[in-house]
Amino acid sequence: GQQVMQIPQYQHVQEGEDFTTYCNSSTTLSNIQWYKQRPGGHPVFLIQLVKSGEVKKQKRLTFQFGEAKKNSSLHITATQTTDVGTYFCAGPRRAGANSKLTFGKGITLSVRP
């Protein structure tokens, strides 16, 4: 079945450093979504990418969807302690079944002040 992979599962950065993480799917995706979960909290939707090569920005966060629509990246510029948490990517399990998502295992980001 479809797999969505995020490696590594943990990353530690110094505050102010940039951070990039990647998400890879075993199949072509109609869209990809990113969620953030703060420690002790629940996943919260960040963004959805639909078009091949699409790039979207949210303040210091930049999201990109690959040309082949099988991978995506999240880049954080000048990390802050507020960026701490686990970032999940998720893609629909099959075309047309957008609400049934496969989640990656997530990457947990820690930021040293």
Give the binding site for other proteins (CB under 8 A). Answer: 9, 31, 33, 35, 41-45, 48, 50, 88, 90, 92, 98-101, 103-106
What would the DSSP string read from start to end of 35-68? EEE-TTS--EEEEEE-STT-EEEETTEEEEE-TT
If the CB atoms of residues 84 and 101 are measured against other proteins, the closer one turns out to be 101
| Residue 98: CB minimum distance to other proteins, A | 4
Q: What is the DSSP letter of 8?
A: -
φ/ψ (deg, to 5) at 61: -100, 130
If the CB atoms of residues 41 and 53 are measured against other proteins, the closer one turns out to be 41
If the CB atoms of residues 55 and 97 are measured against other proteins, the closer one turns out to be 97
